[in-house]
């Protein structure tokens, strides 16, 4: 059983479930379980979450989900090839990252250690 306060699951807006599955499956290798037409759960390396078509995308200022990549440049190339918008690049002490907007409009970041 997880400890109190453990971040157990993340649920993101997903108004286009089919595009969500194509993008995250092809770029990041996530697997999915459908729960009706408006909800899909995902799994990746023991982490789980879901995309809910009924949740509204936060235009700005919402929580930021940050993914890890061992090779940030290769991952950015894969994200670009999937046709989504790259929003920004950042360098900080200990690493660097880029932000993109997924097919649903969610802002997501990918980082690596420097």
* CATH of the domain spanning 10-113, picked from 3.60.15.10, 3.60.10.10, 3.60.21.10, 3.10.180.10: 3.10.180.10
Record the pTM: 0.90
Mean pLDDT of the chain: 94
Is the Cβ–Cβ distance between 20 and 51 less than 8 Å? yes
The confidence score (pLDDT) of residue 70 equals: 96
CA 21 – CA 33 distance, rounded (Å)? 10
Return the biggest CA–CA distance within the chain: 43
Give the tens place of pLDDT for each residue, 18-44. Answer: 999 999 999 999 999 999 999 999 999
Q: Give, as one character, the DSSP assignment of residue 59.
A: S
């Amino acid at each position: 059983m997880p400890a109190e306060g453990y971040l157990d699951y993340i649920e993101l807006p997903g108004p286009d479930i089919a595009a969500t599955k194509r993008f995250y499956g092809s770029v990041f290798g996530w697997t999915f379980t459908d729960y009706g037409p408006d909800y899909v759960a995902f799994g990746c390396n023991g982490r789980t979450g879901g995309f809910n078509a009924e949740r509204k995308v936060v235009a700005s200022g919402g929580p930021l989900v940050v993914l890890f990549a061992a090779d940030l440049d290769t991952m950015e190339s894969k994200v670009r090839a999937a046709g989504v918008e790259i929003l920004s690049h950042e360098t900080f002490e200990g690493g660097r990252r880029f932000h993109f907007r997924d097919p649903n409009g969610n802002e997501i970041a990918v980082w690596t250690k420097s």
